[in-house]
Structure 1
Amino acid sequence: MVKKWRRTISDFCHVYQFYKVPEFNENLQENHLYSKVYSYLNSLSSIENSDFTNLFTGKKSNEIILRLDRNQIISDEFLGARVCWINGEDDKDGSRSRNFVLKIRKADKRRILSLYLQHIHTVSEEIEQRNTELKLFMNIGIGIGSARWRSVSFNHPSTFENIAMEVDLKEKVKSDLESFLKGKQYYNRLGRVWKRSYLLYGTSGTGKSSFVAAMANFLDYDVYDIDLSKVVDDSDLKMLLLQTRRKSLILIEDLDRFLATKTATATVTVSGIMNFTDSILSSCVADERVMVFTVTGKELIDPAILRPGRVDVHIHFPLCDFTAFKTLASNYLGVKEHKLFSQVEGIFQNGASLSAAEIGELMIANRNSPTRALKYVINALQIDGDRRGNGRRLLLENGSRRSMSEEVGGDMSGPLCGGGGSPVVKEVRKLYGLLRIKSSRKSESYDVARD
């Protein structure tokens, strides 16, 4: 109460100037000054004196982070002058947007304003350098506010070192990404926007999503995952692009499935997707970005979407071969060499194959016994023709069930398991019974589109 009275008396005795820092500019693009002010204010010790402060857990289990709540005031001092910030919110036409309002005495404005804003910029830059955490952004439905993205921490463990892929192919992709990172002056000299686009195609379970995560970790880029079912129309898709940041990977998964099963509420057109990847707008706002599209097959995609300039690199994700299998065995089982490897290699050479996801599930279920895991993989590979689907499903069920039974005591007929008919075992059967054989590889893995 005393603090409020003191503030009221001070306001009565002085004349103030107010400066608003909105979250978005007049073009609905992110106002970078807003994010800098946000970082700066949340680093001030005076945030503890705010009337209402939010508490969050930090990266460490015992770390508590304070964040300023809406419509709260936080004070700061700079060069002997006292200023205040108000965390506000605008509501125009049913659309909400956040802002910060700087309250400064007119007598101090000319002396400190420019230096104070530069101080905020410097401190926020230092904070950003210390906080190198990547973010995964997801688009939300329209009408929830001007901000169309919500984010979570991006902590995906996939890297180019641990994904199952041909070594030569990985090196080609890494080289291509490195050239892109260093290519700003080159792209500017050519008069082209500094962006790169990739098409990842292959059946489910072949590692496309993990590869995207590895790309983001390699580039040290945030990920913007666009759910096209939540995009109202072509203009809305452009608006999402406007609100992305530099140094980001923009992802659209299962593009072919969306185009084949568009709902009545989703009116994004093929033309809209083409303009999203290659238009005047993307040329203006897509600088320093990587775009990635995933599909199960290229056959159902309009060739105009895939032309050079819109999609630069095509990467095929086939079913597992022996090289990928060895990577999986090393990652999942900690085995680099094994007496059964020669048998596995021979089966692969005869044309048999599984997806990386299927092999990975067998290895996870039998991770306590690498030999047993490899035997289950061998048996699954040996089942061929039409019988392979049903036989593999049964094999996966048995392999998973046996592994779990050994972990809890080795007896499936005990009270815990109920002779194999308990809900736990039924759920295991249901889980591993979902795995299916995927189509075999159809084309080369790496294809750089040329103008």
Structure 2
Amino acid sequence: MGSSLSLIASVAILRSSINDFVPQEMQSFLQELAGRFTSELTMVISDSHEESKNHLFHALMMYLGSNAFSTPSVPRRITVGKNENIKALAYGLDRNCKIVDTFLGADMKWSYCSEFNSALQYEMKWYELRFHKRHASMVRSKYLPYIIEMAKIIKDQNRVVKFHTTRGGRDGWNFKGINLDHPMTFDTLAMDGNLKQKVIEDLDRFVRGKNYYRKIGKVWKRGYLLYGPPGTGKSSLIAAMANHLNFDIYSLNLSAVSSDSSLESLLLHMSNRSILVVEDIDCSVELQNRQAGDRPSDHDKTPRKPQEKAVTLSGLLNAIDGLLSCCGDERVIVFTTNFKDRIDPALLRAGRMDLHINLSYCTFSTFKQLAETYLDICNHDLFPRIEKLISEVQVSPAEVAGELMKIRNPETSLEGLCGFLECKREAGKSSAPPTSVPESLEDAPGGV
């Protein structure tokens, strides 16, 4: 033990003597000379680049931290932390720690270094990468771009979904947004099975389509129109989409926006990987169908003073599909309405609302999903009776869910639902027979 300490002390004294007595020029020459006889290259990635933040450095923090426990050479010291904006713990390398990452069969030897500059009162931080000279081209063209791509995926998967609104009375989003901890997912969403799968596939195809959208010269965005009677799951579908994509939600209340220029400013301040939601668009402002000559009824429109400006149809079209729409990537736009025929066709065409999703009244298939979710049953003697009743009345999934939530006992709960449906059937006998349209998904029509 004593001999080991003596050796360490001797090395430290020798190193100090070299720094004190050997000129810096000679040290640089010796380092360059030694470099000629080594097969390794060293690459330095500092925390800043040309007086601005070095994005590669911060990508490395995420990438190497996520690999800290998955490499054979686990670092001896690892940092760990968490804040309100991420879902899981974040790991990283501590100062002077090393890790070996293997990429395409080649060893990439990383070390994390830091040093406090007393003159600048600033801690300089950097990563050093050592690799064999023959891999230099691969590191530049494949490895470093791969790190940036993987860091983005890690960041996107770990970020907490935020909910932003414009309901503060000013033309701007609320400052930080609030964490959206909505429990709705596609697993718990009561929706026709085939339609649900088509929506999931369309969303997945969209998030994988960055290169395709660039290839065809289109902005990387996707529009969905959700329409149908109240209580059919439009808001629940939006929450499931946000949780599936891990996208922030920006809920836009058009009647609270004072002008077209204010609307443009709002969209410019949205983040990428986000969903813009305009609920009940036919009621927000006067954007009704010009071809049908519709005018909003007194209860549909928000009253405004004569001198007060408002968002126009032209302004909305330019905001979601004009040059402004290219100022952001990976965005989804969702409009909801109870009355599709009240919306101007210019808003509905492909490129604006690409998919039209009809969410209709509860079907027996939807009921079975609700029964499994709320009562943990897949079958029951009362199911045939409920199937017949659902085919005879117009009842929303929200109404059915409300009845199933009243009592946890399956037998009693289903009996209560049967009574509720029979009451609706009796009440509807004096009115016209129901005309229920099944849930469906349709592509938007071409340009107008």
Shorter chain as denominator, the TM-score bin is: 0.5 to 0.7
Does the alignment pair 1:277 with 2:320?
yes
> Could you list the runs of 5+ residues in structure 1 that have no partner in the other structure?
1-18, 22-30, 41-55, 64-76, 84-103, 116-121, 391-438
Superposed CA offset, 1:229-280 (max 9, x none): 3211111111111011111111111111213403315611111221222111
Which residue of 395, 398, 407 maps to 1:366?
407
Alpha-carbon distance in structure 1 between the residues aligned to 2:229 and 2:157: 40
Kept in 2: contact 1:195–1:289 (CA 8 A): yes
Q: Secondary structure of 2:231's partner?
A: coil
| CA drift at 1:387 | 2.2
Residue 186 of structure 1, CA deviation: 1.0
Structure 1 residue 353: Cα displacement: 3.2
Q: Who is 2:206 aligned against?
A: 180
- Are 1:446 and 2:433 counterparts? no
Q: How does 1:314-333 map to 2 (within 5 A)?
A: 314-333=356-375
2:116 to 77, 80, 83: 80
5+ unaligned residues in a row in structure 2: which ranges?
1-49, 63-81, 90-112, 128-147, 286-299
Asked if the contact 2:356–2:443 (Cα under 8 Å) also holds between the matched residues in 1, the reply is: yes
Taking a change above 3 Å as real, the CA distance of residues 81 and 140 of structure 1, as seen in their structure-2 partners, is farther
CA contact (8 A) 1:164 1:328 kept: yes
Measured in 1, the distance between the counterparts of 2:424 and 2:167 equals 45
Partners in 2 of 1:126 and 1:315 — Cα distance?
29
Please say if residues 234 and 269 of structure 1, whose CA atoms lie closer than 8 Å, have aligned partners that are also in contact: yes
Counterpart pick for 2:416 among 356, 371, 376: 376
Match of 2:23 in 1: none
Letter in structure 1 aligned against 2:193 = V
Q: 1:218 aligned to 208, 227, 244, which one?
A: 244
8 Å contact from structure 1 (residues 139, 226) kept in 2: yes
Q: SS where residue 442 of structure 2 aligns?
A: strand
The 2-side partners of 1:176 and 1:293 are apart by 17
Q: 2:246 aligned with 1:232, yes or no?
A: no
Match for residue 154 of structure 1?
Answer: 180
The share of aligned pairs that are identical, in percent, is 35
CA contact (8 A) 2:234 2:336 kept: yes
Instruction: Give the corresponding residue for 1:267.
Output: 310
Q: Is the 8 A contact 1:199 1:313 kept in 2?
A: yes
1:354 is aligned to 2:349: no
Q: Kindly provide the amino acid, as one letter, of the partner of residue 449 in structure 1.
A: A
The C-alpha deviation readout for 1:297-336, integer Å capped at 9, x for no partner, is 1111111111121110000110101000011111111111
After TM superposition, give the deviation of residue 127 of structure 1 in Å: 9.7
**AA aligned opposite 2:423:** I
Residue 366 of structure 1, CA deviation: 1.5
Instruction: Find 1:134's aligned residue among 161, 170, 186.
Output: 161
Residue pair 1:229, 1:266 contacting (<8 A) in 2 also: no
Q: 379, 387, 393: which one pairs with 1:345? A: 387
Report the CA distance between 1:128 and its aligned residue.
4.6
Q: Find the partner of 1:171 among 194, 197, 200.
A: 197
The answer to whether the Cα contact below 8 Å between 2:348 and 2:445 also exists between their aligned partners in 1 is no
Q: Cα distance, 1:158 vs. partner?
A: 0.9
Contact 1:200 1:316 in 2 (8 A): yes
Pick from 299, 303, 307: which aligns with 2:345?
303
| Counterpart code for 2:187 | E
1:164-195 CA distance string (max 9 Å, x none): 11110011111111111111111111110011
Q: CA deviation at 1:217?
A: 1.0
TM-score, structure 2 length as denominator? 0.61
Q: Could you report, residue by residue, the CA deviation over 1:36-65 in whole angstroms, capped at 9, with x for unpaired residues?
A: 8xx99xxxxxxxxxxxxxxx99699xx9xx
Q: Counterpart in 2 of 1:91?
A: none
Q: State the Cα deviation string for residues 192-235 of structure 1 (Å, max 9, x = none).
A: 00110000001111110000010111111111111223211111
Secondary structure at the counterpart of residue 251 of structure 1: strand
* Cα distance in 2 between the residues matched to 1:180 and 1:130: 16
1:381 CA drift (Å)? 1.8
Q: Report the number of matched residues.
A: 311
Post-superposition offset of 1:441: 3.2
Q: Give me the whole-angstrom Cα distance separating, in 1, the residues matched to 2:214 and 2:274.
A: 19
Verify the 8 A CA contact 2:229 2:338 in the aligned structure 1: yes
Is 2:276–2:333's contact at 8 Å kept on the other side of the alignment? yes
1:193 to 1:231, Cα distance in 2 relative to 1, 3 A: same
Deviations 1:374-403 (A, max 9, x none): 11211222235672599xxxxxxxxxxxxx
8 Å CA contact 2:114, 2:125 repeated in 1? no
**Partner Cα separation in structure 2 for residue 57 and residue 273 of structure 1:** 37
- Alpha-carbon contact 1:142-1:148 (below 8 Å) kept: no
Q: Distance in 2 between matches of 1:246 and 1:207?
A: 26
Q: Tell me the residue number matched to 1:255.
A: 281
Q: Is the 8 A contact 1:134 1:222 kept in 2?
A: yes
1:127 to 1:192, Cα distance in 2 relative to 1, 3 A: closer
- What are the superposed Cα offsets for residues 103-122 of structure 1, whole Å, 9 maximum, x if unpaired? x56xx89xx5999xxxxxx9
Higher CA-based Rg: 2
The residue identity in structure 1 corresponding to 2:302 is K
Give, in whole Å, the separation in 2 of the partners of 1:225 and 1:326: 31
- Shift in CA distance, 193/32, structure 1 to aligned 2, threshold 3 Å: farther
Q: Decide whether aligned partners of structure 1 residues 444 and 319 sit closer, same or farther in structure 2, where only a CA change above 3 A counts.
A: closer
Equivalent pair of 1:169/1:446 in contact (CA under 8 Å): yes
Q: CA deviation at 1:79?
A: 2.1
Q: Which residue identity lines up with residue 362 of structure 1 in the other structure?
A: E
| Residues 12-54 of structure 1: CA deviation (Å, up to 9, x unaligned) | xxxxxxx999xxxxxxxxx999xx8xx99xxxxxxxxxxxxxx
Structure 1 residue 312 corresponds to structure 2 residue 354: yes
